[in-house]
Amino acid sequence: MSDQKVWFITGSSTGFGRELAEEVLAQGYKVVATARKPETLSALVKKYPQTARVARLDVTNKDEAHRAIEEAVEEFGRIDVLVNNAGYGLMGALEEPTDEQIRQQFETNIFGALNVMRAVLPQMRKQQSGHILNISSVGGFIAFPATGYYSASKFALEALSQALAGEAAHHGIRVTIVQPGAFRTDFNGRSLHLPETRMTEYPATDEFVSWLKEMDGKQPGDPRKAAQAMIKVVESENPPLRLPLGEDSVTAIEAELEAVKKDIAPWREVGIDTAYAGATFGAIGGK
């Protein structure tokens, strides 16, 4: 049995959110599970009437985010863990999606996450404790053909998470960026959004989208094991800032780090030799 931390999980109707809510409840924690259609979560409350609660939340609605957080605190008295899981993937070449599709991708994946974080932070500061898990992706560290807008939203989420980790540590608030690879959720199916008009000029984009569709239902990652890994991180005394999940994510990120070093190396002196004569630099941030 756990110490009954209170978890607040967005996008809990399917995928990672649903698996995580079920595993967290099974391990004895309290959960406020949220979804745009809360009736999809009624089975959770029926199975765990003492520890599960459901709240309506469209993360793009700032007022709903504040209301859901307030309801959670009224019910359980605190929020120990926020999981920003709600999101989807818009795939396509940079020229393909409409302006509306592009803006909606950012409204959900980045501004939606911000709405919830900004709503929960005052409570966590009051508690002087808390842990925020922001669900990113291997695509939040590496951009592939067709993932430009999705990856841009996740890159932004990772930047905000890293900044927040430094800002909020003083208040006992921890931040972890979760970077899943290919897991057997509905990301490659229902949650995969494509432009209304496709172009033939970008074959690499078509190849990647076709691969995503072919992988649907065959992904190697087990969402329940991912949920268990996230719980382990929350219970850790020294949680990481970044948590890649899946061998594909771990090895791809490791390879990308090496590629960046290799890319920088031959141009290192060119980059360094751009200061005024005699000027010296300290560490960024003064540390």
CA angle 182, 187, 191 (to 5 degrees): 165
Q: Pick the catalytic residue: 88, 154, 161, 249?
A: 154
Q: Pick the catalytic residue: 5, 29, 150, 161?
A: 150
Q: Pick the catalytic residue: 29, 30, 88, 136?
A: 136
Could you tell me which residues come within 8 angstroms of residue 24 by beta carbon, excluding any fewer than 6 positions away?
7, 9, 31, 227, 231
What is the identity of the amino acid at 192? L
Tell me the C-alpha distance between 140 and 176, whole Å: 13
Tell me the C-alpha distance between 267 and 186, whole Å: 42
Q: Transcribe 114-130 into DSSP letters.
A: HHHHHHHHHHHHHHT-E
Q: Is 136 a catalytic residue?
A: yes
8 Å CB contact between 181 and 249: yes
Q: Is 150 a catalytic residue?
A: yes
| Residue 129 exposed, middle or buried by CB count within 10 Å (0-12, 13-18, 19+) | middle
Look up residue 83 and give its two tokens.
Answer: 């999981």
Q: Is 249 a catalytic residue?
A: no
Tell me the C-alpha distance between 60 and 29, whole Å: 27
Look up residue 120 and give its two tokens.
Answer: 């929960």
Backbone angles phi, psi at 89, to 5 degrees: -115, 120
Could you tell me which residues come within 8 angstroms of residue 215 by beta carbon, excluding any fewer than 6 positions away?
182, 188
Tell me the C-alpha distance between 131 and 82, whole Å: 6
Residues catalogued as catalytic: 136, 150, 154
